[in-house]
Amino acid sequence: MSSGIRLVNLRKSFGDVEVLKDINLEVRSGELVSILGSSGCGKTTLLRIVAGLEQSSNGEVYFGDELQNDISVERRSIGMVFQKALLFPNMTIGENIAFSLRAKGEKDEKSKKRVEEMLELVRLPGFYNRRPGELSGGQEQRVSLARSLIRNPKVLLLDEPLSALDANLRVEMRAFISDIHNNFRMTTLFVTHDQEEAMAISDRIAFMDSGILEQLGEPKSFISAPESAKVGKFFGCKNLLDGELKNGQFVSKGLALDTTKSHTLRTVIAAIRQEDLSITEGKTSSSFLAEIIDWQFVGSKILVKCNVVEGEEGLIIYIEVDRFENLEKKARVFIEYRPDRIHIIPKHDVV
């Protein structure tokens, strides 16, 4: 049966370099949590410690209530899929999937039926006698997943399993992993550097930066309520303004915006998502005047770069618009904002 994962005060250093700085994380039983962060943030090291491939310098790893620290890799109840499928080239697909059963000494005839079931599950029926070289990247990764699931592990660890695949296949495999997860409800840690991937697949996201767990929460909270400027930036918020709170207003370089949230802090950062801003015809109660400098296409949307007229020189705001209408360089427009969508971040880090 699947059990939760609990990481307590986890630290890891390689020589003088501290890769993990006091990580505390609880993954509930049956939950899929993504560990998201850019390369070098320590996310893979974290996963390797959970797997037992790496020893932590300090702290504890629990599966359910069982302390795992002194349990070696091969005795931990885990399934792990790496970036590369790593199918053993000297075995057939069937033998690859049966590897964990045979390592335990199970007989071929007994394992064969279960292998066939797993092949069915990963939608590769009849592949038992194929060789690894004959499969596509996506098929190989599905075999790798089947090979990990067949031992019915308590936790499933996925280390960027989709990164080596091309874009279309990645989206397809993402949905596939979601399906498998919904079927089995296996506690899963999913390491990725792809924000979109994490958003699509996770129950919760753990965002890491420089060995620190910056924010843990549901995907939508990373958009609407980033807890730090780093998170805001990583999740694509283009407007992160340094400023102060005065009389219910956020003031930055001469621009004053109404906010609905009351804070006791004075110096803060306001995160205003570009899609929460819009260009209006005339002045409204919550709008300000700006001059269009430039624009660029981002997917099907247009990101418009504006200079705030009311503010000091060099106060830049980005707006996302759906259509290419009335966009003219040097044109002066009113930009409307929603006071309830201005997210205030206490200031304790620098962008």
Partner 1 sequence: MRINLRIPILILFFLYLFVPFVSIALWSFATGWRFPDLLPSGYSLRAYEIAADPSGDIVQGVITSTVIALIVGVVATLIGSSAGRAIAMHSFRLKRAFQFLVLAPLIVPSLAVTMGIQILFIRYGLVDTILGVCLAHLIPTVPYVVMIMTGTFANFDRSYEEQGQVLGASRFTVLRKVTIPMVIPGLSVSFLFAFVISWSEYILTLLVGGGSIKTLPLVLFAFLRGSDLPLTGAASIVFMIPPLILLRFTSKYLVGRSSSMTGLGSV
Of 8, 86, 169, 251, the one binding partner 1 by CB under 8 A: 86
Phi, psi values for residue 80, rounded to 5°: -135, 130
Q: Does 82 bind partner 1 (CB under 8 A)?
A: yes
Cβ(153)–Cβ(80) under 8 Å? no
For partner 1, give the closer residue by CB, 44 or 259. 44
**Distance separating alpha carbons of residues 66 and 221, to the nearest angstrom:** 31
Instruction: Kindly indicate which of the ranges 31-39, 100-108, 172-180, 324-332 contains the residues binding partner 1, using the contact rule CB under 8 A.
Output: 100-108
Residue with smaller CB distance to partner 1, 75 or 263: 75
Indicate which single residue of 11, 21, 28, 84 sits in contact with partner 1 (rule: CB under 8 A). 84
The edge-to-edge listing of strands for the beta sheet with 239-246 is 255-258, 249-252, 239-246, 267-272, 343-346
Asked whether position 100 contacts partner 1 by CB under 8 A, the answer is yes
* Rounded Cα gap, residues 42 and 207, in angstroms: 11
Residue whose C-alpha is closest to residue 97's, from 126, 134, 53, 128: 128
Residue 149, interface with partner 1 (CB under 8 A)?
A: no
Binding residue for partner 1, selected from 12, 147, 238, 273, defined by CB under 8 A: 147
Q: Which is nearer to partner 1, 89 or 299 (CB)?
A: 89
Token pair 């499933």 in the structure block, residue: 156
Q: How far is the CB of 74 from partner 1 (least distance, A)?
A: 5
In this structure, what token pair is assigned to residue 62? 């629990």
152 vs 210, beta carbon nearer partner 1: 152
Which residue type, as a one-letter code, is found at position 4? G
Which part of the chain contacts partner 1 (CB under 8 A), choosing from 78-86, 174-182, 229-237, 248-256? 78-86
Stretch near partner 1 under the rule CB under 8 A, chosen from 31-39, 67-75, 233-241, 327-335: 67-75
The 151-190 site mask, x for binding partner 1 (CB under 8 A), equals x-----x---------------------------------
Does 89 bind partner 1 (CB under 8 A)? Our answer is yes
Interaction site with partner 1 (CB under 8 A): 51, 53, 73-76, 78-80, 82, 84, 86, 88-90, 99-100, 103-104, 147-148, 151, 157
